[in-house]
Structure 1
């Protein structure tokens, strides 16, 4: 029966290339992209045969941890059905323990696992060239691949049990953002290694910590064996992770086989888009509606597209003035963070008369304020997470990374906090829904300009201490970099919380005035 299940698994893989022409073309394109990406990753790994041990260990631990996290998140967020769901094999009559083992083996026969295996084997070859015993490399490959496969199995079972109603193609888009946040900074760092050949001490400390977690323990094993440090501890963590995942998988199989599936629920919610993903609360509904507007209303799209243009424009006068390029490379990212935080400063006005739904429904102010910030956070956090390491790599000194992160966090979060107040206290007329985003209504007062200026200037003033620490870090003060990081996070989060609280109170007290404003503009 186990052999029969394995034959079914192979038949499923081959069957994916059958069907109508459009389906086959999409599958073939996806397969080609994966093969090319795998080949590129293998080539990149093999080029590190002459690299230092610290560099190889950093790349393998960061890359392996990112891949392991991806295997865990994909089943939770993606909307695809699991072909190896234990419920599908209930009629075979296999004992639950044996079925769990068979499905684990069958799960290893998949295109992503085979691609991971190819890259992991290349990593083992590189470690063998650095003097690591072949046995250690093989054990690391087996532990890493099995960990990824079991993470995928367990998380797929959890999604089938508890998250069936919350997955949709919108969440798949969120997963892409998460992958970008994890993978792009790693790729930027790999590029910096190619040109500079040195690993920042702060990053080595992060790799050491990551290597003792379930995500990176299996991948750090050869590196720990190469320098004779904590190889035994990494092996214990990797084996314990595998054992814990095995127990969770056995429990999940038992749970799935003794739980009745609720048919049709996922399909019903999938058609609701973001409303099917968001929690069934007032704040969740407002967040879903805001996401629909932000990704579908051209007024929001135009405002978002202005950000990279405005950030890039700041570079030109600085270069003309003779500012060194490595300094100029750091400027656009804080400007982008400032504009991102400034974007929702007039969000209520963009609702037009639709604001009556919030007011007549008795929505609490905190639900309205937080729900409106979700789209900006969903776009801004991944964008800054990619832009900060890219700018740091162009700058050339990784010690500035904490300071740049703190400055961006202070500007972004402070802007969001002040915008939460401004959009309720000082809304001003904007183009109505369906109108051209470049068509602005006539205003009888300068309130709009004042509101825009107060939010932007307020974010700059509140972030001034962090910007000063960042400047000191740029001049070589290592302690100022850490101060800028933690100070930026503290100031940004503090202003955000205070802004949401004040904006919530103002929303509940100014409901009638907001309705009058919506009707008169």
Structure 2
């Protein structure tokens, strides 16, 4: 049964490749990226082997502990990232508990995260290459440590099943966790000054972690290298107990969850009163589309996940400006925000999923569909990007700079909305389905989505060249005429490109309704 589950996991992954060649391309790209990271880390481990034993032990225990914590936390927050061999699907099968838990646990190595963790844990032997006995022990501990990571991940996800089954928890948690990842540079810069102060404490922290499940396997080879075999045997026994208890606790929780499955919550359960955002717009075809899209922007976490970086850009660029010789680097945030916000509706048709059938059956025209979507996005984006364009120059006491930035920003927003209106009517790609984890990677989405997004963003930057040229001329000459020229050209050219995009995208939408409906169905 264990071997059957492993083969089943491998077969499911292989079937996904046959379903979509884009998924195969995406997996190959991610595998090559993972291989590159693994090679770099293995080279680092090999270089670490030239240091003294205390430094090797401290580094490996701390890094191993961080990795175990990551396996415990990330699968809970990003629940549903890999639903292959979902334990709930085995509820109706009389599979013995021991075989089911063992098969599900070992099958975790069939996939990039599990395989990469196994390789890296075993590669810690390179750091102990000066002591053959410690290197051999490091290989064995690496296998068991990787197995502990998978067991900890299964344990935490099963224990948090009742909480992660609530849709609102999944939506909020994934987005909140992603925010510090986006701002990782400023965070690292902020703590960099304090690293020297805590560096002397790290060995003592490693000593404590070496007796916990987090670092016990990483510390074992160090005991062997030091020749303390008694301590090594005691730590090995403790490590075995930790691993056995983790697997046993997960097995108990798994069997309990299979006997009493938790019902997944699809919403808040509160009744909706009135028309909501639909009442904000006139009773016209484009007004109905705008109202529904505004509801998406307010309630659908996939939209928030797609633009979670946008409100953080001014702070990131402000930090970059503080580290550079000029404070004006923060000016780049507003135009970039505008382009990203306008570009965000390029996947609107894909996000509609089955609801796109309403557009087909109701006969709404392509122009009205494009106009409603662009209007909803524009109403959300305009206050954000204008604030990012006006506040920094005002703080610096440079009012004419604000005029330039407003022209650049509005030109970028309007032209990118027009461009996205064309792109979403012509190209679709697989996106996360409604109600799923907003950061989940759907089959076939990787390479095709990346190519479409990069091409659209590049085209948006090209369309902004006239405004950029005028803005550069202003900053070189400091002539306010060019500041107002940037504003005028941004509004006029941006509005023209928006109207052109709405009409062109509308014609494509009308001509390709059957293809779009088919694409949305296949993307599910």
Instruction: Normalising by structure 2, report the TM-score.
Output: 0.49
Instruction: Normalising by structure 1, report the TM-score.
Output: 0.49
Higher RCO (CA 8 Å, separation ≥ 6 residues): 2
